[in-house]
Structure 1
Amino acid sequence: DKARFVYLLPNFQNPTGRTMTEERRAAVAQVAVECGLPIIEDNPYGDLWFDAPPAPSLSSRHPEGSVYLGSFSKILAPGLRLGYLVAPKALYPKLLQAKQAADLHTPSFNQRVVAEVLKDGFIDRHVPTIRALYKQQCEAMLAALDREMAGLGLSWNRPVGGMFLWVQLPQGLKAIPLLDKAVEKGVAFVPGSAFYAGAANESTLRLSFVTATVDQINTGMAALATAIRESL
C-alpha cells in the first residue's frame, strides 16, 4: 500500500546480468496497471544482446504510467554520460525542474555529437559490432570459468547480453578479503556486497568482460582461481 513507484532494470541487469522473462514482464505490468503503480524502467544495456533481443519493454505495456530511461554511454562512449527518457507528457514540466535542479543542463556539444551519430546511421552500424565483440568476450570468460574454477565450489550465471557475470563463491569465502589477494595477482572484481540495499551476501562478486581482451580474460580468470585456491 505504501509503494510510490517500482524501479526495474529488466535487461542484462547490473550487477547480475539477469534478464526478466516475458511472463514476469507481463505480470509486473498487469499489477502496475491494476494498482496504479508507476514504473521506472531503466534500460542502459538493452541493446547489448548477443543472439536475440529481449522481450518488449514494460513501458510499452503501460505507457501512461511509465518512465523509460536509456543511455548512450553503454553503446557509444562512456565519457559522454548522455541519457534520455520517454515519459507521459504531463510529467515533462516536473522532470525538467528536477533536471535543472540537478545540473542545469546536459552539455550541448555532447548532444550535438550524438545527434549527428544518429542522423548519419553510424549507431546502427556500430551497435552490431559491439554486440559481437561482447558476445565473444562473454563466451571467453564463461569458458575460462568452466576451465579454471572446476572443483572449487563456485557457481555463476550465463547472461545472454550486457556486460556482467554474477558469481557465488563457496560457503564461508568472502569477496572483500579475496579481492586483496586477487589484486596482488593482477586481477580485480567488484564485491557483491556493494550492490545490496539491505543484508548483503558477502560471498558474491561481479565480473565484467567488456574491457578486456580474450587473452586478458584467460589470464585474469587463472589468477582469480589461484587466489581462490589459496583462500580456501
Structure 2
Amino acid sequence: MYPQEEHTFDILRFCYVESMPNGDDTSTILKTMATRNPPAPVRASGVASSPVRDLLALADRPEVISFAGGFPDQALLDVTGIRTAFTAVLSEAGASRNLQYSPTEGSPALRELVAERLTAQGLPTGADSLLITTGSQQALSLVTTTLLDSRAVVLVEEPTYLAALQCFRLSGAKVVPVPGDEHGIRPDALADAARREKPTMLYVVPTFANPTGRTLSGTRRRDIAQIATEQGFWLVEDDPYAELRYSGTAVPPVSAQPVVGQHAIYLGSLSKIGAPGLRLGWLRAPASILRSLAIVKQSADLHTSTVDQAAAAHYLRMNVLDEHIGRLRAAFRARRDAMLGAMTTTLPEGSTWTRPDGGMFIWSQLPAGYDTRLLLTEALAANVAFVPGQSFHTRTSAPATMRLSFTSNNIAGITTGMARLAAILRP
C-alpha cells in the first residue's frame, strides 16, 4: 500500500466512524462498501484518492478550523459582481445564445480578454493561442492525455502539486522527481535528469508553488527555459497564484522566455483570483499542439459552460477583477503574516518553514522523528486540520513535513487554529 493510500484509509475510517449513528464497526462498513462496488478499472487501480479532497469533506464540519484546502475564504468572494455579470448576460438581447452550445476552443470574447490580461502581465498572447477549459485542472488533464502514455517520462519538482501527480499516474507515465531548494527547482539537477531520462515534459508551479510557497528566481527561469529547449521536452507551467503577491517584485512567467516559446504550455485559472465554483481556466499553447488539445477536450466535454464563459467575459469587461484581487491581496497578506507570526509558538523547536511572498501556502519541516500523518489524527480530534506533506512527494520519504493554507480562515480563526495545533505539537 502506498503512503498516500494508507493516509486516505485513515481519513476515511475517521469519517465513517464519526458519521455512523450507532458507532458501527469500521471494518464492517468498509467490507460492505467493497461488496457493493465493481472492480476498479485497471488504469486507476494504482492511483490513490487525493488526501486533500478527502480532508476537505471531513473538515467541512463547522467546528473544524481547516488549514488544508488551497482556496479563498468564501466571505471574500465577489458575489455581487458575479451576480451582476450573470444577470447581464441573461438579460441582454439574444441572451438565449448564452444557453446554447459553443465552440470547443471557448468564447471568442473571453479568449480575447484573457489574452489581453496575459499580455499585460508580460506573456504576449493572442486569442488564437488559447483554449478555455473547465478549470485549470482540466487543462492539466488535457495536457496529460495528449502528451503522456506508459512510455513517457514526466519530470516534476519534489515536492509538487498532488493532483498533478494523480494525473500523471493515471496516464501510466514514469514520474521522476527533481530536487529543489528555497529558490525553486535546481537547474543543474534538472539538466542531469533530462539527460538521463529523456523526458516528454517538465511540470512546474514556479510562482508561490503548491505546496511550498516558493518562487523560482528569474535566473533559474531563464536556465530552465534554455534546458527545455536544448533537450527538446515540453515545459508545462501551472500558474494559478501569480497575481496573489503580497511582497517582493513580480517575475515574468517562465513561458515568457523567448527561447522556450515553441516548447511551453501555460495554464491559468480564475479559481484563486475570482471564484473556484465558476470552474474556468485556460491553456496557452503553440499551434503545433493546440489543435490536438482541443480535440481531446471535445471528447471530454465538448466545451466549457457557455453561460459561465459569457458571465466571466462580462465580469472582466466591467474592470472589477483587479479591484477584487486588490481586496484579496490585502486580506491574504494579513493572514499570511498572522500565521507566520504564530509559527514559532506553534511548531516544535528545530522546525523550519517557508516565508512565501504570495500564494496560499506555508510549507513546514518538523524535526526528525515526527510523522504528520499520525499527528493529523490528533489534530482532527482537536478540530483543526492540515495536509501531511508526504502526499506531495513521489519518492522521497518526508513524514515530518506539512502544508498549511492561510487563505480560507480569518485572523481570529488562524489564531485559534494555530493554538489548537500548538497543543498537539508542543504539549
Q: Structures share a fold, TM > 0.5?
A: yes
Deviates more, 1:206-215 or 1:89-98: 89-98
Match of 1:87 among 257, 260, 285: 285
Which protein, 1 or 2, shows the higher relative CO under an 8 Å CA cutoff with sep ≥ 6?
A: 2
Task: State the 4+ residue runs in structure 1 displaced beyond 4 angstroms.
Answer: none
Q: Which residue of 2 aligns with 1:11?
A: 207
Q: How does 1:37-186 map to 2 (within 5 A)?
A: 37-61=233-257, 62-149=260-347, 152-186=349-383
Q: Distance in 2 between matches of 1:101 and 1:156?
A: 43
Q: Which residue of 2 aligns with 1:216?
A: 413
Q: Which residue of 2 aligns with 1:196?
A: 393
Q: Which residue of 2 aligns with 1:27?
A: 223
User: How far 1:36 sits from its partner (Å)?
Assistant: 2.3
Q: Distance in 2 between matches of 1:100 and 1:53?
A: 39
Aligned residues: 229
Q: Distance in 2 between matches of 1:52 and 1:64?
A: 30
Q: Which residue of 1 aligns with 2:6?
A: none
Q: Deviations over 1:79-117 (max 9, x none)?
A: 112100111122221010121223332111211111111
In structure 2, give the amino acid aligned to 1:176: R
Secondary structure (helix, strand or coil) at the match of 2:308 reads: helix
User: How far 1:37 sits from its partner (Å)?
Assistant: 2.2
Q: Distance in 2 between matches of 1:76 and 1:53?
A: 22
* TM-score, length-scaled by structure 2: 0.52
User: How far 1:39 sits from its partner (Å)?
Assistant: 0.9
In structure 2, give the amino acid aligned to 1:27: D
Counterpart contact for 1:164–1:206, Cα < 8 Å: yes
Secondary structure (helix, strand or coil) at the match of 2:267 reads: strand
User: How far 1:199 sits from its partner (Å)?
Assistant: 3.0
Q: Deviations over 1:167-225 (max 9, x none)?
A: 11121010011011111212100011111122330110100000101111111111101
Q: Distance in 2 between matches of 1:178 and 1:35?
A: 43
Q: Distance in 2 between matches of 1:163 and 1:146?
A: 19
Q: Distance in 2 between matches of 1:153 and 1:183?
A: 24
Q: Distance in 2 between matches of 1:89 and 1:137?
A: 41
In structure 1, give the amino acid aligned to 2:391: A
Q: Deviations over 1:13-32 (max 9, x none)?
A: 11111110111111111111
Counterpart contact for 1:72–1:81, Cα < 8 Å: yes
Q: Deviations over 1:122-157 (max 9, x none)?
A: 1121111111111110000000112333x6322111
Counterpart contact for 1:11–1:54, Cα < 8 Å: no
Counterpart contact for 1:47–1:53, Cα < 8 Å: no
Q: Distance in 2 between matches of 1:172 and 1:35?
A: 40
User: What's the % identity of the aligned pairs?
Assistant: 42
User: How far 1:53 sits from its partner (Å)?
Assistant: 4.4
Q: Which residue of 1 aligns with 2:426?
A: 229
User: 5+ residue gaps in structure 1?
Assistant: none
Counterpart contact for 2:355–2:362, Cα < 8 Å: yes
Counterpart contact for 2:213–2:360, Cα < 8 Å: yes
Q: Choose 1 or 2 for highest CA Rg.
A: 2
- Name the CA shift for 1:116/1:53 in 2 (closer, same or farther; >3 Å): farther
User: 5+ residue gaps in structure 2?
Assistant: 1-194
Q: Which residue of 1 aligns with 2:135?
A: none
Counterpart contact for 2:213–2:356, Cα < 8 Å: yes
Q: Distance in 1 between matches of 2:263 and 2:215?
A: 22
Secondary structure (helix, strand or coil) at the match of 1:207 reads: strand
Secondary structure (helix, strand or coil) at the match of 1:93 reads: helix
